[in-house]
Amino acid sequence: MKRDFLKGLGLEDTVIDQIMDENGKDINKANEKVKSLETEVNNTKELLTNANKEIDSYKSMDIDAIKKSAEDYKTKFETAENDYKAKIAEMELNNKLEKYVDKLSLKNDIYKKEVISRIKEKGLKFDGDTLLGGEDLVKSFKEEYSDAFNDTKQKPNFADSTPGNTTPITKEAFKKMSYKERLTLKNEKPDIYKNLKEE
C-alpha cells in the first residue's frame, strides 16, 4: 500500500501514518512467518535427505549375510562354551580317576593308565566319590592281571625257635603257606625253611 494512494482518498497525514504503521507491522509479521516456514522447509529437506541416505545404506546392506554372520557367531560362541565345559568336566573326571586308581595299589603307572583307559571306555560315572561299576571292572582286571597289584597282605612274621622269640613256625603252618610266603621264608630265614622242608 502506497502513501499516494491513501492521499488520493482524501485522508489526513496522521491517519495515513497510522495506516502505514499498521501495514508495516503486518508486513513484518508476514515476513517473519515466511522466514519461519522457510526454516522449517529447509529442516524438513535436510531430514528427508538424511533419511534417504539412511534408506540407501540399508538397501546396500546384505541382510541375509548379516543374519548368517550373527548365526555363525552364535554357533562359535556356543561351541567354545561347550568345549570349555567339556574340558572342565574332563579335568574333574581325571582327578577323580587318579585318586580312585591310586587306592588300588597297582604296581606301576602302566597298569594305572590301563585301568583308567578301561573305565573311560566303559563310560563309568562317579556318584560322589564312588565309581559306579568300578568294583566289577577292577575284579575282572585282577583276574586278567593278578600280578599287577602290590601285595597288601601283611607278611607273616617268621620267627625261629631261639630264646626270646615267639611261636615258632609249625609244620602245619608251613604246609598252609602259599608259594610266595614260602619263598619269602626261604630268603629271610633259610635255616628255618630248610628244617621245615626236610621234616
Element spanning 131, H or E: strand 130-131
pLDDT at 161 over 70: no
Q: Which pLDDT score, from 0 to 100, does residue 164 have?
A: 46
pLDDT band per the 50, 70, 90 thresholds, residue 165: very low
Residue 171 CB neighbours (<10 A): 10
Q: How many domains does the chain have?
A: 3
pLDDT at 41 over 80: yes
Give residue 102's domain range. Answer: 75-148
- Is 13 among the domain residues? yes
pLDDT band per the 50, 70, 90 thresholds, residue 167: low
Q: Which amino acid belongs to residue 39?
A: T
- Is 41 among the domain residues? yes
For residue 144, give the C-alpha cell.
Answer: 586278567
Q: Which pLDDT score, from 0 to 100, does residue 162 have?
A: 47
Q: Which pLDDT score, from 0 to 100, does residue 157 have?
A: 55
Contacts with 142 (C-beta within 8 Å, 6 or more apart), sequence order: 148, 149
Q: Which amino acid belongs to residue 187?
A: N
CA 103 from chain centre, in angstroms, equals 30
For residue 90, give the C-alpha cell.
Answer: 574332563
Q: What percent of the chain is modeled with pLDDT above 70?
A: 90
CA 9 from chain centre, in angstroms, equals 98
82 & 18 share domain: no
Q: Give the model confidence (pLDDT) of 55-94 as tens digits.
A: 877 777 778 888 888 888 888 888 988 888 888 988 888 8
Q: For the packed helices 134-144 and 109-122, what is the interaxial angle rounded to 10 degrees?
A: 130
- Is 69 among the domain residues? no
- Is 60 among the domain residues? no
Q: Which pLDDT score, from 0 to 100, does residue 158 have?
A: 52
pTM: 0.41
128 & 185 share domain: no
Q: Give the model confidence (pLDDT) of 113-147 as tens digits.
A: 998 999 999 898 888 888 888 889 888 888 888 78
129 & 159 share domain: no
For residue 174, give the C-alpha cell.
Answer: 608251613
Computed over every residue of the chain, the mean pLDDT equals 81
Radius of gyration of the chain (CA): 53
Q: Which amino acid belongs to residue 128?
A: G
- Is 14 among the domain residues? yes
Flag the least confident range among 19-28, 71-80, 112-121, 180-189: 19-28
- Is 181 among the domain residues? yes
Residue linked to cell 603257606:
177
Q: Which amino acid belongs to residue 190?
A: P
